[in-house]
Amino acid sequence: MITRFKNKVMQFGGNISFIVSGNHFPNGAIQFVSAAPVQKNFTVSINYNDGTEPVVYSSLGSTGKVLNLYNPGHVNINPATANYSGKVFSDGNKNDRIVVINCSDWSVITGISMSGQLFSKTQSLGIPFRLMRNLAGFGATNGLGGGGAYARITDIDAALFSLPALRSLSLGGSSFEITSRYYGYLQPAFINPNLTSLLIGGPGYTGKSFTAANLTAINGVALPQLTSFSFNGGMIGGNDNGFGEGPFPVEWTTLNKLLVFGCNTTAWTSIPDRINSMSNTLTNLNFTYCGQIVSWANDLSNLVNLSTLVLTRCVNFPTTVPGYIASLTKLKNLNMGGVFPVNRQAGAIDAFIDNWYAFVVANAAITGANALPFRGMVFDIRSEDIVNIPDGVQIPTGVYQAPAGFVSGVSNGTPGSSLEKIYVMEVQYGHIWRYRTV
């Protein structure tokens, strides 16, 4: 039940309620977690309102008191480990069905995440956060679509944002309907100073200055504990210098405890130079589906603690290795999934391997511990989806073998192909390279 006054939500009831259509629920997945320090078993009861009795699901049998509810037919379904199937409705497809979810004790729930859930009409997000005093994490980004241009959520229980245990929030503009106060404006309530992880995104912010969208509220003073921050490019103009303010708000560079910074689907044409002004505490830098990036930043040498660089599906990313990479001596992991699709210029993957081989030979010790700079690195240049499209990327040329003159710990020999260079980097420098072979 949701209580309103003058069309504003005043209080949410004691259960979760969604208005859905279709012949089954859920469309995607819903996860309930009871982690330490609470970590108690619980049950979830769902009334599918299809003329049958509610179904009760238990966390018993799970590892870590986690209960997953998947769409019917999902490959992970295993009731013995609390990975349950949702339900195909006994009365078929029915518009505006109200599905009601109850929990044996909402106060033991420390995490809720949803993905792929479709709603049939505009509605308030019917989750009683005020009863979840131990909720540490909530995630619903990219998971509350309604099948149209905009999502269906008009309001949300604002108690979520001030929960004392809340540390992780993933909630995007993609969840909200165009008339919602949350659409296109970062509400001040989002800024909980205890947050350590924040992910936001979706439509509505594009076409506005960072100030007008209140994205400048994300800063080191307001979020002093934030260690992970990610956003979807649809939330900003996405270009290199939107409204003359740069690629993203300069205030983000004041997040002085940040370890992880990620962005998805921006229209940037290069890695922004502004990233070099971010905290040198950064260990992970993630760019996903940023297909318009064609060049490195002019300098990233300030990021001396960077260990992981993710460039998934950045299909035009350069094959070169800039000189300042030599300053990033803790860099160990490069995830380049889908960066070299088969329709990219032929030989791009070989040029990438050639350039990294030259860099490693020039900057890494031929012997020693893998903890040494540029030894023990891991490169993943396979498809971004190795299950469904494993053959979607280029294959390195040559034969995987020791090149002429190779002597372990003494000489690299004279490798003449990409696979011979990978052999040298793996055997001589302790690397791991993951790549398409057939």
pLDDT given at position 150: 46
pLDDT given at position 146: 47
Q: Give the whole-angstrom CA distance, residue 49 versus residue 107.
A: 25
* Range from 4-13, 35-44, 370-379, 418-427 carrying the lowest mean pLDDT: 4-13
Bridge partner residues of 270 (DSSP): 295
Does residue 150 lie in a domain region? yes
Over residues 127-156, mean pLDDT: 79
Q: What is the DSSP letter of 295?
A: B
CB contact at 8 A, 75 and 56: no
Identify which has the larger pLDDT, 201 or 29: 29
pTM flag (> 0.85): yes
Q: What are the residues whose beta carbons fall under 8 Å from the beta carbon of 337, sequence distance 6 or more?
A: 312, 313, 380, 381, 382, 383, 384, 386
Peptide bond preceding 37 in cis form (omega within 30 of 0): yes
Residue 110: is its pLDDT beyond 50?
yes
> What is the tens place of the pLDDT at every residue in 386-434?
988 999 999 999 999 999 999 999 999 999 999 999 999 999 999 999 9
* DSSP state letters, 17-85: EEEE-SSEE-SSEEEEE--TTT----EEEEE--SSS--EEEE-TT-SSSEEEEE-TT-TT-BGGGTEEE
> What is the tens place of the pLDDT at every residue in 337-358?
999 999 999 999 999 999 999 9
Alpha helix locations (H) across 140-231? none
Residue ranges with strand state E in 89-238: 97-103, 111-115, 123-125, 137-139, 153-156, 168-170, 197-200, 228-232
Does residue 415 lie in a domain region? no
> What is the tens place of the pLDDT at every residue in 181-227?
888 889 999 899 999 999 987 667 777 888 888 999 999 999 999 99
- Here the tokens at position 115 are 């993905």
Residue 9: is its pLDDT beyond 80?
no
Does residue 121 lie in a domain region? yes
Does residue 91 lie in a domain region? yes
Residue 11: is its pLDDT beyond 50?
no
> What is the tens place of the pLDDT at every residue in 234-282?
656 557 887 788 899 999 999 999 999 999 888 899 999 999 999 999 9
Does residue 36 lie in a domain region? yes
pLDDT given at position 174: 64
The structural domain count of the chain equals 1
Cα 104 vs. chain centroid, distance in angstroms?
31
Residue 5: is its pLDDT beyond 50?
no
Residue 177: is its pLDDT beyond 90?
no
| Residue type, position 406, single letter | F
Cα 409 vs. chain centroid, distance in angstroms?
40
Does residue 123 lie in a domain region? yes
Q: Give the whole-angstrom CA distance, residue 211 versus residue 191.
A: 15
Does residue 174 lie in a domain region? no
Domain that holds residue 68: 1-134+143-161
